Chains A and B, each alone.
Chain A
């Protein structure tokens, strides 16, 4: 037996969560764009899409967030004001497993060294009702990085579509059980056929990691990253990329310190005040992104910094596919390169 949520009751779920005080967000259409945004009805949900353009990251790490305010009074005295807001309780309905899995991975870095209260206060306020993927496309690769299209990792409630189009419901942990108790119209039903995408394994992760260990200086990076234009597209749509910059902005007398998304692919990311840039070429910046995700982060914090959602692959304006690059590494293509291959003089 399993718990079943008839598809028609999704509307009741949205209403129940909203009346319980949650802001409910989910994948919605905005013209040609499908993005996570607030919904007032289940009819707003775009559940037929494989994945939204941007990730759920913005609900825990907003693209711009105030971390402090400061005032300077007429006498010139500066006072720093706390800016921690009480985040709005939010349910993300129709989250994907590859999005949900990103949050526990990022928890590690936000709890490492010191605890980032901005991240965790939003994290506490967010509940994830994930819908397992019934479909995938050629950019999906969750199964290659330890995930699965029906993985419960990071979710509070997991919905899995049945052949009849209803949802099999699974609560995860206390938070999940608490949330599921608010779902109206659940019923017990015999286990039915579940619709779960078959995401093929695209590369051997351990082979890729071994290749990265050996190929820091490989001409592979130059050859690969020559086409990279150094925008922040891949990192900003990524659910696990979490780098930020702190800036003071606003009028001189009452201003804000903000934390904004930043991207290792941009040349200013590592530019020193002296003018020196330790990653002077795009190949260094591109290498950093791959190394950080698949070598540095796992070796320091134990998890691969990628959930295989494929957003960066789809969004890259120059078709520089991370999936292809990691597949090439795993297949040993970097090892095989003679040092002069793809030589482009600088």
Chain B
């Protein structure tokens, strides 16, 4: 597993976490290059389908992050999102997706350090979990499945 480099997809809101990631960069903080950021207007925009799609396209883990409660640029997008994540994360856990594969966080525009630390932590955790082979196997070409069934 030593040569396994996790592929992490992060959905982040443009107002807080994306700005926080920017701050981490401009402050020259170092964090693993395993994360790909996808910027959305608000965490309220992050549909559960985004998370599934990321896994379908080969993500080993997904990070979802936005403004702290009370800081939402649109007042309550993150509070609505919080309820959806509560339910969706339980659903993913129920069907056997390790909770380490989906991380939720609040990171403000001032928290460049928190962003860098979280990416470091998540990368290490996913490195330990290994590649998300079970999802990838499930996503294998239909041709390999169709004859069997």
* Direct chain A–B contact by Cβ atoms under 8 Å: yes
Binding site for B on A (CB under 8 A): 58, 62-66, 69, 83, 85, 87-88, 249-251, 256, 258
Residues of B within 8 A of A258 (CB): 142
User: Does B143 contact A83, Cβ atoms closer than 8 Å?
Assistant: yes
Q: How many Å lie between the Cα of A85 and that of B145 in the bound state?
A: 11
Residues of B within 8 A of A88 (CB): 147
User: Does A62 contact B141, Cβ atoms closer than 8 Å?
Assistant: no
Q: How many Å lie between the Cα of A83 and that of B142 in the bound state?
A: 11
User: Does A251 contact B143, Cβ atoms closer than 8 Å?
Assistant: no
User: Does A85 contact B149, Cβ atoms closer than 8 Å?
Assistant: no
Q: How many Å lie between the Cα of A58 and that of B149 in the bound state?
A: 7
Instruction: Fill in one digit per residue for B107-149: 1 if any A CB lies within 8 Å of its CB, else 0.
Output: 0000000000000000000000000000000000111011101
User: Does B146 contact A64, Cβ atoms closer than 8 Å?
Assistant: yes
Residues of A within 8 A of B145 (CB): 64
Q: How many Å lie between the Cα of A256 and that of B143 in the bound state?
A: 9
When C-beta atoms are compared, the residue in chain B nearest to A254 turns out to be B141
Total chain B interface residues with beta-carbon distance under 8 A = 8
User: Does B141 contact A256, Cβ atoms closer than 8 Å?
Assistant: yes
Q: How many Å lie between the Cα of A66 and that of B142 in the bound state?
A: 6
The 3 A-B residue pairs with the shortest CB-CB distance, nearest first, are A66-B143, A62-B146, A65-B146
Q: How many Å lie between the Cα of A36 and that of B87 in the bound state?
A: 36
Q: Could you tell me the distance in whole angstroms from the C-beta of B56 to the nearest C-beta in chain A?
A: 9
User: Does B143 contact A85, Cβ atoms closer than 8 Å?
Assistant: yes
Instruction: Fill in one digit per residue for B71-82: 1 if any A CB lies within 8 Å of its CB, else 0.
Output: 000000000000
Q: How many Å lie between the Cα of A64 and that of B140 in the bound state?
A: 13
CB-defined A-B contacts under 8 Å, sample of 21: A58-B149, A62-B146, A62-B149, A63-B146, A64-B142, A64-B145, A64-B146, A65-B142, A65-B143, A65-B146, A66-B141, A66-B142, A69-B143, A83-B143, A85-B143, A85-B147, A87-B147, A249-B142, A250-B141, A256-B142, A258-B142
Binding site for A on B (CB under 8 A): 57, 141-143, 145-147, 149
Residues of A within 8 A of B147 (CB): 62, 85, 87-88
Residues of A within 8 A of B57 (CB): 251
Residues of B within 8 A of A249 (CB): 142
Q: Could you tell me the distance in whole angstroms from the C-beta of B57 to the nearest C-beta in chain A?
A: 7
Residues of B within 8 A of A83 (CB): 143
Q: Could you tell me the distance in whole angstroms from the C-beta of A2 to the nearest C-beta in chain B?
A: 36
Q: How many Å lie between the Cα of A339 and that of B12 in the bound state?
A: 61
When C-beta atoms are compared, the residue in chain B nearest to A63 turns out to be B149
When C-beta atoms are compared, the residue in chain B nearest to A87 turns out to be B147
Q: How many Å lie between the Cα of A88 and that of B146 in the bound state?
A: 11
When C-beta atoms are compared, the residue in chain A nearest to B145 turns out to be A64
Q: 14 new A-B pairs (CB below 8 Å) besides A63-B149, A251-B57?
A: A62-B147, A63-B146, A64-B142, A64-B145, A65-B143, A65-B146, A66-B143, A66-B146, A69-B143, A83-B143, A85-B143, A250-B141, A256-B141, A258-B142
Residues of B within 8 A of A85 (CB): 143, 147
Q: How many Å lie between the Cα of A88 and that of B149 in the bound state?
A: 11
Q: Could you tell me the distance in whole angstroms from the C-beta of B36 to the nearest C-beta in chain A?
A: 15
Residues of B within 8 A of A87 (CB): 147
Residue of A58, A62, A63 with highest tally of chain B CB at under 10 A: A62
Residues of A within 8 A of B149 (CB): 58, 62-63
When C-beta atoms are compared, the residue in chain B nearest to A37 turns out to be B149
Q: How many Å lie between the Cα of A200 and that of B106 in the bound state?
A: 69
Q: Could you tell me the distance in whole angstroms from the C-beta of A74 to the nearest C-beta in chain B?
A: 19
Q: How many Å lie between the Cα of A62 and that of B145 in the bound state?
A: 10
Q: Could you tell me the distance in whole angstroms from the C-beta of A264 to the nearest C-beta in chain B?
A: 22
Q: Could you tell me the distance in whole angstroms from the C-beta of B55 to the nearest C-beta in chain A?
A: 13
Q: Could you tell me the distance in whole angstroms from the C-beta of A282 to the nearest C-beta in chain B?
A: 29
Q: Could you tell me the distance in whole angstroms from the C-beta of A259 to the nearest C-beta in chain B?
A: 9
Residues of B within 8 A of A65 (CB): 142-143, 146
Residue of B57, B141, B147, B149 with highest tally of chain A CB at under 10 A: B147
